[in-house]
Structure 1
């Protein structure tokens, strides 16, 4: 079970929203992590520099917190195989959904995009159904 941390969660949400807002205001781009990661892989496009900087911030900020003494305990309660299968399924969803949860859920919904609202509702419905099936139908305890 993950520890309930409402203040840290709220602060994290504010920082995610702020970074998405600043990216939109400064570069006119949406903070969809899939497109950002794809943009730093060869062949490099003309936008690769800001994408690399955005990803560096996403990696270095938690590293800086860790070096400052703030640690978050976590556990991965599934096998490596399950993580790989889940990643492949998410990749398929990103492809068919024309974007990821950050692009649709954070940025698209903030812009009141019908496509993003529909995509996010679909993500959430499948997440609820998956948890229900795993915990209550198949009775897998994690």
Structure 2
């Protein structure tokens, strides 16, 4: 619902990498809504904590692996002109051919990576 509302009310796609990237290179009059959006992303889990217990989170990776993975995702969003939420959710719902290709590429890369790590490298 919030993604559709964002497009209808602002005429913009709610791709997180684009919104965050706009904060790193701000334009005059364009920073307020970006800060509010990011504050909502950070604030929503904090509000959840007030209402209920957080679900258990179990990450089976080292900090160096998580850092490398995060950097690779960040680089990929720049090369792909958007992130998985921008292309996979917003782009596909608008029937964007570019988003279809990007999402298929994301998925294929994920499948290949999991196969290589689990079945070839045996990790």
User: Scaled by the length of structure 2, what TM-score is found?
Assistant: 0.93
When the two structures are aligned, how many residues end up with a matched partner? 123
Structure 1 residue 41: Cα displacement: 2.6
Question: Is 1:80 the counterpart of 2:63 in the alignment?
Answer: yes
Deviating above 3 A after TM superposition, structure 1's stretches of 4 or more consecutive aligned residues are 42-45
Match of residue 65, structure 1, among 41, 48, 55:
48
Distance in 1, Cα, partners of 2:19 & 2:32: 10
Larger displacement relative to structure 2 (103-112 or 49-58) = 49-58
- Structure 2: 5+ residue stretches without partners: none
Which of 110, 114, 118 is the aligned partner of 1:127?
110
Q: Is the 8 A contact 1:40 1:52 kept in 2?
A: yes
- Residue 106 of structure 1 deviates from its aligned partner by 0.7
1:94 maps to 2:77: yes
Distance 1:45 1:70 in 2: 40
Superimposed CA distance per residue, residues 68-122 of structure 1 (whole angstroms, 9 cap, x where no aligned partner): 1231101221111111111121122111111111111110000000000000000
Q: Which residue of 2 aligns with 1:10?
A: none
Query: What is the alpha-carbon root mean square deviation over aligned residues?
Result: 1.3
User: Please, what TM-score do these two structures have when normalized by structure 1?
Assistant: 0.81
Greater RCO structure (CA 8 Å; 6+ sep):
2
Report the counterpart of residue 16 of structure 2 in structure 1.
33
Deviation at 1:42, TM superposition (A): 4.7
Alpha carbons 1:39, 1:45 under 8 Å: kept: no
Structure 1: how far apart are the matches of 2:77 and 2:25? 19
Task: Decide whether aligned partners of structure 1 residues 64 and 102 sit closer, same or farther in structure 2, where only a CA change above 3 A counts.
Answer: same
Correspondence 1:47 to 2:26: no
